[in-house]
Amino acid sequence: MKADTRLMKQLNISTLRRVLSGEGKATKPQLSRLTGLSVVTVNALITEMLEQGEVQELGMVPSGGGRPSMQYGYCYGYRTMVIIYGHQLEGRNYIHTLVVDLKGQKLWERQGYMEEIGAESFDSCLDEVFAGFGNIGLIAFGLPGEAIDDVVTINDFSGLEGLDFLPRIREKYGVPVLFENDINAMAYGYYRKHCGMDVTSLVGIYFPRSFLPGAGLILDGSIYYGNSHFAGEMGEVYVPVPWEELDYYKENQVLCQLEALLATFACIVAPSRFVLYGDFLTGGMAERLEQYVCRRLSGKFRVQVEVSSCLEEDYETGMICLAQNRMLQLMEERTETNTPSQV
């Protein structure tokens, strides 16, 4: 019975949080109507959220003929998140660091080249951020590679592999740490910005030149990781020319390579759309690839291909959305463990 009560409260406060953060501001009667919760339940939850600083009173407003009601606003700065993501720019490592609130609004930002990347490379920047913000609830990294149970198993930066990176960051700064693969974040960001309900699957592929390309798979609105997070690792996928020998300046060779690659993904995943990232790609390649792959598959499957020049924008959007999702999960878990009152 106690567990059921805690679960019900967690569901109620999650519903109220989602509605109020979406609306921005509302009165208790409005929240009751929008959430389907009783006014008594809304009143108890709002009181608790006020005490914790998640909600603030905005003042009395007219209530349609009756007595004025207090309007409440959601405090998006109740928790903030540090996001660090990196990619290749002109053949060098380019790192973005930003602090965002629960609405995804940027509160602080810095970017620049980082020649060497190791387990302690981000400490000085994180020290500065934690000195300036007192309500950080999460650190999120977007980098090439994969992490399973805090162990970085695959990474283009060997200094980050193993147990020396993520557990040390979490222990030093005392907050949960999220690690996401770069192309997964790009594909997810593109999906969240540009795709509607008609797009059920998406394959994003990033060609960084200096490293092997990688793919991110979005299935039914979520990142698909596969067993051991190996989905999208393309180093062993058959292509006509080994990636390290591919001349990105020879367009016909590149198109032949991509035709084979996209045809393989089309046969296995049959995505609604491909989105490609790479500084050698041109808009005209998308239509030619659609034609090539359709012909290669004997007209049995038509692909939609988009060449995106918005790598940083999609990457950042994906990282912010993933950090928001994880932060909300952590807040819900905290509600379940720390609030035994019956609501």
Q: Which 3-state string (H, E, C) describes the chain? A: CHHHHHHHHHHHHHHHHHHHHHHCEEEHHHHHHHHCCCHHHHHHHHHHHHHHCCEEEEEEEEECCEEEEEEEEECHHHCEEEEEEEEEECCEEEEEEEEEECCCCEEEEEEEECCCCCCCCCHHHHHHHHHHCCCEEEEEEEECEEEECCEEEEECCHHHCECCCHHHHHHHHCCCEEEEEHHHHHHHHHHHHHCCCCCCEEEEEECCCCCCCEEEEEECCEEECCHHHCCCECCCCCCCCCHHHCCCCCHHHHHHHHHHHHHHHHHHCCCCEEEEECCCCCHHHHHHHHHHHHHHCCCCCCCCEEECCCHHHHHHHHHHHHHHHHHHHHHHHHHHHHCCCCC
User: Which of 26, 50, 74 represents a domain boundary (last residue)?
Assistant: 74
Provide the pLDDT for residue 90.
78
- Asked if residue 159 belongs to a domain, the reply is yes
Are residues 270 and 316 located together in one domain of the fold? no
Are residues 125 and 168 located together in one domain of the fold? yes
Can you give the CATH number for the domain in which 10 is found? Answer: 1.10.10.10
Are residues 318 and 305 located together in one domain of the fold? no
- Asked if residue 339 belongs to a domain, the reply is no
Provide the pLDDT for residue 337.
59
- Asked if residue 203 belongs to a domain, the reply is yes
Are residues 320 and 306 located together in one domain of the fold? no
Are residues 86 and 8 located together in one domain of the fold? no
pLDDT tens for the chain, 343 residues long, are: 555 777 888 899 999 999 999 999 999 999 999 999 999 999 999 999 999 999 999 999 987 667 899 999 999 999 999 999 998 887 788 999 999 999 999 999 999 999 888 889 999 999 999 999 989 999 999 998 888 888 888 777 767 877 779 999 999 999 999 999 999 999 999 999 999 888 889 999 999 887 889 999 999 999 999 998 889 988 888 899 999 899 998 999 999 999 999 999 999 999 999 999 998 998 899 999 999 999 999 988 888 999 999 999 999 999 999 999 999 999 988 766 555 433 3
- Asked if residue 337 belongs to a domain, the reply is no
- Asked if residue 10 belongs to a domain, the reply is yes
Are residues 292 and 222 located together in one domain of the fold? yes
Are residues 66 and 55 located together in one domain of the fold? yes
User: Which of 21, 56, 74 represents a domain boundary (last residue)?
Assistant: 74
User: Which of 74, 102, 136 represents a domain boundary (last residue)?
Assistant: 74
Structural domain count of the chain: 3
Provide the pLDDT for residue 209.
80
Task: Provide the domain limits for residue 317.
Answer: 78-184+312-332
Are residues 250 and 296 located together in one domain of the fold? yes
Are residues 69 and 111 located together in one domain of the fold? no
Are residues 212 and 230 located together in one domain of the fold? yes
Are residues 211 and 239 located together in one domain of the fold? yes
Are residues 178 and 221 located together in one domain of the fold? no
Provide the pLDDT for residue 338.
58
Provide the pLDDT for residue 317.
97
Q: Are 46 and 3 in contact (CB under 8 A)?
A: no
pTM exceeding the 0.85 threshold for the entire prediction: yes
- Asked if residue 253 belongs to a domain, the reply is yes
Single out the residue of 70, 24, 66 nearest to residue 47, CA to CA: 70
Provide the pLDDT for residue 339.
52
Can you give the CATH number for the domain in which 280 is found? Answer: 3.30.420.40
- Asked if residue 27 belongs to a domain, the reply is yes
- Asked if residue 341 belongs to a domain, the reply is no
